């Protein structure tokens, strides 16, 4: 039946062309079916990671290491937001589909950037409070003339690719819990796959498959067990239940599938990565220990039913927010003289894993970053060898750990170049003082962080982070080359047959390197720090490279925007050889704010720090360092600092996106938060953090 429908569209398209009407009447993406997704389509970018293997390696070679110096802006598009931008644009039939903050979708002419349609799901702005890491969206899916977007407030929506009008929509989360969606849907065998996020809020993770045609639910697979007094949904969960203790289900357990997926059509296996525990610290979640399956794991599922075929847990009994939701790449590598079908992942925990993707067997694991929590991975058991004492967390003695909760690699996709044999990892590093809240009580109030950490770090508890572009040899499990980057929060990577690797730098540049040696060959200012995931396509004999520039996402938790002021509008930047667009200005430095008096009493500062950690951190950043899409409170002007009760309790800045917290905070608590912010401000008025971070 669906084949008939597609055939009907094809006939319609042919007749439209025959009558001389404009070709755009053929719905874009009409030919994107299972075969097209499997084979790929030269010159187009049809699914999130370019192909089912999620390689982000493009065979396009019109732009090369030899001519990349001629690359310049062809066109740009105002994404109408000052929030984070993380999407990978898709291109089909000359139309680009790209999502913005608040799950807004644009269809643009991929040659000119002209707007074809815009779809705004009008996400309730109060959902911003539930998002751990900004109101971002990492992209859409295309299938049979439809565009699929999952919204921050938990709906999966199918749009008509020609008009942007919804065809169907379905809720895919329990709106009473702290679920949000920021990930891109994938399409496998006629099903739309979508997970969700919210482990910091306290949810039970799962992934759902929907019939792409009708929106009917096909299957749902939970990643952690539920209430043990009820039967578990599958034999796999019955087994997983034995690895948990205590009343873990009350806070949901976590294990959300918030980003990464890949598919092997020959093995007929769908791979998904699962997130951290909820709350973070195992002793608060599962007091008598246990591995807590399937947290921080890679799951191989049957795409028709969701049945679990194998799993590999990267961080048993996770206590540090070490998600395994980071981008996975499938490749065939010659290891020890044998061609192995592998799955590669560089999760937050700092180890690069090469698994046999048919069986889940560990082939190798090696630290790709500075790792403090484990000394290695045991080749026989596949388990990490934990360093002594890593599970002690006390509010009195913060446990400094490497990597921190943003990981040695986060959502920013890596890429794999089959020619160089290298994986290009947007790597990063920070240490983080974990502080367990011994009095942690789970709260169902939407937007309250249930991560069980007592406080946001105070001054001098946060050493500066560092970022790098890391070219990793997955066979030898060693670095081939690395390029240190000034910011610790940079964009995803794209590898091309032109011997190129593209990456956006957090300090506001889009850069091309040679893929084999890591030489910087070209760069262009982007006008705003931090960049999304670059992609490339061809149209009428020209190759284009597109990337979103807009600081936000988890950068708003830890990052330091180099822009002169917060809220620089994000843009879609599209480059071509000898492009004629106007390059954005370079990112300017920010002025140091004036010093102000405040109460330096330690107990009072700690009260403010704890309140800040519970209510403010998810938007304004850990230690009050904001990524800049949302106001960096340390840099507020004095009139704003005087208006705290009106802003925080009554919603005076609601039009700017700041929701009122009168339902959760009292005036004296607001003053304690304000005082903590002033303490954090004092740190930058004393010594410029910028100079520290260089
Ligand atoms: Ca997390």
Percent of the chain with pLDDT over 90: 71
What separation in Å is there between the alpha carbon of 199 and the centre of ligand 1? 6
Residue 243 has pLDDT above 90, yes or no: yes
Residue 203 has pLDDT above 60, yes or no: yes
What separation in Å is there between the alpha carbon of 434 and the centre of ligand 1? 13
Task: Tell me the whole-structure pTM to 2 decimals.
Answer: 0.89
Residue 591 has pLDDT above 90, yes or no: no
Between 691 and 658, the more confident residue is 658
3-class secondary-structure state, position 201: coil
Band of pLDDT at residue 163, cut at 50, 70 and 90: very high
What separation in Å is there between the alpha carbon of 276 and the centre of ligand 1? 5
Tally Cβ neighbours within 10 Å of residue 326: 25
Note the pLDDT of residue 455: 67
From 126, 110, 43, 114, select the one nearest 78 (Cα to Cα).
Answer: 114
Note the pLDDT of residue 566: 57
pLDDT tens, 280-337? 999 999 999 999 999 999 999 999 999 999 999 999 999 999 999 999 999 999 999 9
Q: Which of 321, 507, 516, 632 is catalytic?
A: 321
Band of pLDDT at residue 19, cut at 50, 70 and 90: very low
What separation in Å is there between the alpha carbon of 66 and the centre of ligand 1? 41
Band of pLDDT at residue 408, cut at 50, 70 and 90: very high
In eight-state DSSP terms, residue 645 is: I
Note the pLDDT of residue 13: 41
Alpha-carbon distance 6 to 212, whole Å?
Answer: 14
pLDDT tens, 632-662? 899 888 999 999 999 999 999 888 778 899 9
Instruction: Kindly state the average pLDDT of the residues 261-281.
Output: 97
What separation in Å is there between the alpha carbon of 220 and the centre of ligand 1? 21
What separation in Å is there between the alpha carbon of 275 and the centre of ligand 1? 6
Note the pLDDT of residue 654: 85
Band of pLDDT at residue 8, cut at 50, 70 and 90: very low
Q: Residue 610: CA atoms inside 13 Å, Cβ hemisphere, count?
A: 15
CA 435 from chain centre, in angstroms, equals: 24
Q: What is the mean pLDDT of the chain?
A: 90
What separation in Å is there between the alpha carbon of 435 and the centre of ligand 1? 15
Note the pLDDT of residue 10: 38
The answer to whether residues 515 and 501 touch, using CB atoms and an 8 Å cutoff, is yes
Note the pLDDT of residue 589: 66
What separation in Å is there between the alpha carbon of 159 and the centre of ligand 1? 30
What separation in Å is there between the alpha carbon of 370 and the centre of ligand 1? 20
Note the pLDDT of residue 6: 37
Q: Which of 6-15, 130-139, 460-469 has the lowest mean pLDDT?
A: 6-15
Query: What DSSP letter does each residue of 376-416 carry, written as one string?
Result: EE-TTT--EEEPTTTT---SSS-EEESS-TT-SS-SS--EE
Band of pLDDT at residue 610, cut at 50, 70 and 90: confident
Alpha-carbon distance 257 to 296, whole Å?
Answer: 10
Alpha-carbon distance 509 to 505, whole Å?
Answer: 5
The answer to whether residues 240 and 224 touch, using CB atoms and an 8 Å cutoff, is yes
Does residue 321 have an active-site annotation? Answer: yes
What separation in Å is there between the alpha carbon of 40 and the centre of ligand 1? 32
Tally Cβ neighbours within 10 Å of residue 214: 12
Percent of the chain with pLDDT over 70: 90
- Domains annotated for the chain, with CATH where assigned, are 434-464+593-694 (1.10.760.10)
């Amino acid at each position: 039946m669906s084949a008939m429908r597609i055939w009907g569209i094809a006939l319609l398209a042919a007749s439209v062309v025959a009558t001389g009407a404009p070709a755009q009447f053929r719905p874009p993406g009409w030919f994107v079916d299972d075969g097209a997704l499997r084979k790929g389509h030269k010159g187009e970018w049809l699914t999130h990671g370019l192909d089912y293997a999620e390689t982000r390696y493009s065979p396009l070679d019109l732009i090369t290491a030899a001519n990349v110096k001629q690359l310049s802006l062809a066109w740009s598009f105002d994404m109408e937001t000052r929030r984070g931008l993380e999407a990978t644009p898709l291109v089909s039939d000359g139309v680009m589909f790209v999502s913005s903050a608040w799950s807004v979708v644009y269809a643009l002419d991929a040659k000119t950037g002209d707007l074809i349609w815009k779809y705004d799901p009008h996400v309730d702005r109060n959902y911003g409070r539930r998002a751990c890491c900004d109101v971002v969206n990492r992209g859409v899916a295309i299938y049979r003339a439809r565009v699929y977007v999952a919204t921050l407030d938990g709906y999966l929506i199918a749009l008509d690719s020609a008009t942007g009008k919804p065809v169907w929509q379905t809720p895919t989360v329990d709106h009473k819990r702290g679920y949000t969606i920021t990930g891109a849907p994938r399409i496998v065998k006629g099903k739309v796959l979508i997970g969700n996020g919210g482990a910091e809020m306290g949810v039970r993770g799962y992934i759902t498959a929907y019939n792409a045609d009708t929106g009917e639910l096909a299957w749902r697979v939970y990643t952690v067990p539920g209430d043990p007094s009820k039967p578990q949904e599958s034999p796999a969960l019955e087994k997983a239940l034995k690895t948990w203790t205590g009343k873990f289900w009350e806070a949901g357990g976590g294990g959300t599938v918030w980003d990464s997926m890949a598919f092997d059509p020959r093995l007929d296996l769908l791979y998904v990565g699962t997130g951290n525990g909820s709350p973070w610290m195992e002793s608060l979640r599962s007091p008598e220990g246990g591995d807590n399956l399937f947290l921080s794991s890679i799951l191989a599922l049957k795409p028709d039913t969701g049945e679990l075929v194998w799993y590999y847990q990267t961080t048993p009994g996770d206590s540090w927010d070490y998600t395994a939701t980071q981008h996975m790449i499938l490749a065939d590598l010659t290891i020890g003289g044998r061609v192995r079908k592998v799955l590669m992942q560089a999760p937050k925990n700092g180890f690069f894993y090469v698994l046999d993707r048919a069986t889940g067997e560990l082939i190798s694991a090696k630290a790709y970053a500075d790792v403090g929590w484990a000394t290695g991975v045991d080749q026989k058991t596949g388990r990490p060898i934990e360093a002594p004492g890593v599970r002690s967390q006390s509010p009195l003695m913060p446990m400094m750990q490497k990597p921190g909760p943003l990981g040695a690699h986060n959502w920013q996709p890596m890429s794999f170049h089959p020619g160089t044999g290298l994986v290009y990892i947007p790597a990063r590093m920070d240490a983080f003082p974990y502080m367990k809240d011994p009095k942690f009580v789970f709260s169902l109030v939407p937007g309250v962080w249930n991560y069980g950490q007592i406080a946001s770090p105070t001054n001098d508890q946060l050493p500066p982070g560092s970022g790098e572009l890391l070219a990793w040899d997955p066979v030898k499990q060693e670095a081939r080359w690395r390029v240190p980057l000034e910011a610790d929060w940079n964009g995803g990577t794209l590898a091309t047959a032109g011997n190129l690797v593209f990456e956006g730098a957090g300090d506001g540049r889009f850069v091309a390197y040679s893929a084999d040696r890591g030489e910087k060959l070209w760069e262009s200012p982007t006008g705003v720090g931090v960049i999304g995931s670059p992609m490339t396509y061809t149209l009428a004999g020209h190759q284009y490279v597109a990337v979103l520039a807009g600081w936000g996402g988890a950068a708003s938790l830890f990052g330091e925007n180099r822009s002169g002021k917060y809220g620089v509008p994000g843009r879609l930047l599209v480059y071509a050889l000898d492009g004629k667009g106007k390059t954005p200005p370079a990112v300017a430095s920010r002025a140091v704010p004036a010093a102000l008096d405040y109460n330096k009493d330690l107990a009072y500062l700690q009260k403010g720090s704890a309140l800040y950690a519970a209510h403010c951190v998810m938007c304004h950043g850990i230690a009050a360092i904001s990524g800049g899409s949302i106001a960096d409170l340390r840099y507020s002007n004095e009139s704003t600092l005087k208006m705290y009760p009106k802003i925080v309790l009554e919603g005076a800045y609601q039009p700017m996106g700041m929701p009122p917290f009168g339902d959760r905070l009292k005036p004296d608590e607001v003053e304690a938060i304000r005082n903590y912010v002033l303490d954090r401000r004092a740190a930058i008025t004393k010594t410029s953090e910028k100079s520290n971070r260089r």
